[in-house]
Amino acid sequence: MIRENLLVDIIPAIPGFQFRKFAGPSDYPAMVDVINSGHVADHIEEIVTVEVLASDFAHVTHCDLNTDMVIAEVNGKLIGFGRVWWWVNDVGERIYGLYGAVHPEYRGKGIGRAVLTWEETRIREIAASHPTTEPRFLQVFLMEGAQQRMALLKHAGYAPIRYSFMMVRPDLSDVPAEWPLPDGLEVRPVLPEHRRAIWEASNEAFRDHWGHRPSTEEDYQSFLSWPDVTPHLWQVAWDTATNEVAGMVLNNIFERENEKMGIKRGWTDPICVRRPWRRIGLARALIMRSLKLLRDQGMTEAALGVDADNPNKALHLYESCGYQQYQRSFTMRKAL
């Protein structure tokens, strides 16, 4: 575990500041406040709830929350935190993920740098028992608005290696009333017994996605327990001859987020089509059907996320469906 004298070395000179261990669910409300306050300050249009955070933490893999997470507080008030975990992706790279957040009121005081130092030190402790023959990287996902954290990471030696976009279709009034599916395919209402097949099909389809890793049973359980899941809005296409899932758009409406931001936005995300059913217009058909469905639900715009270099030219497909680039995000890395 991290040496006590190192903690003394990296703690900022702020009266009442200390690092402590994660205390469990009682920390969730304050953590959510830190995340959402940061999103507001950084103009990131995402609202995290206690329910979502609790669901995420209930299904972590390769992460012990008792040892792989640190809480920063001032006079007993939680004002920041950091967490680390790891995985091995499909191309054999071992990735050590980091996530850190500091409440905007306490930024610029060295707390973010201290949390990052704690995270990197803990990662090196974990990595000491891992093979050194494979490529190993520290990796952070970052939204474009988080400029202070971006500057901190660059100063620490991280560099952007991959870009993605949040895209928005700002108007749903011109969506066609009907859009036929390719022959031999049909959209069926999602039943509980379909969940496993949908999950497996999605995991297979995303094998082509940069950075993909094999899914675990814990991932599937997280998928089942996601608080805001809306399967009645999903558009899942089945091959009538083989009874296999061919493709899907797992639509969602985040009501609390919309209310907070004063918008009526639905999400057409994730989108995927399995290899045997690509290049026949299935993705476009499912997207158009999804847009109509969201419009019928009272939404006035739709959003999704996409890898800028998606090998299946998804960015161009979405642009042709009326989506526009709205906000960038970055994957940043540093070699271990």
User: What pLDDT is recorded for position 13?
Assistant: 82
3-class SS string, the chain? CCCHHHHHHHCCCCCCEEEECCCCHHHHHHHHHHHHHHHHHCCCCCCCCHHHHHHHHHCCCCCCCCCCEEEEEECCEEEEEEEEEEEECCCCCEEEEEEEEECHHHCCCCHHHHHHHHHHHHHHHHHCCCCCCCCEEEEEEEECCCHHHHHHHHHCCCEEEEEEEEEEECCCCCCCCCCCCCCCEEECCCCHHHHHHHHHHHHHHHHHCCCCCCCCHHHHHHHHHCCCCCHHHCEEEEECCCCEEEEEEEEECCHHHHHHHCCCEEEEEEEEECHHHCCCCHHHHHHHHHHHHHHHCCCCEEEEEEECCCCCCHHHHHHHCCCEEEEEEEEEEEEC
- Per domain, the residue ranges of the chain are 4-157, 166-329
Would you mind telling me the total number of residues written for the chain in this entry? 336
Residue 6 is predicted with a pLDDT of 57
Q: What's the CATH code, domain 166-329?
A: 3.40.630.30
What are 155-209's pLDDT values in tens digits?
999 999 999 999 999 999 999 999 999 999 999 999 999 999 999 999 999 998 9
Q: What is the mean pLDDT of each run of 10 residues along the chain (336 residues)?
A: 60 89 98 97 94 94 97 97 97 97 96 96 97 96 95 97 96 94 97 96 94 91 88 97 98 94 96 97 98 98 94 91 95 97
Question: Does domain 4-157 fall into CATH 1.20.20.10?
Answer: no
Q: How much is the pLDDT for 328?
A: 94
pLDDT in tens, 91-105: 999 999 999 999 999
Q: What is the pTM of this model?
A: 0.92
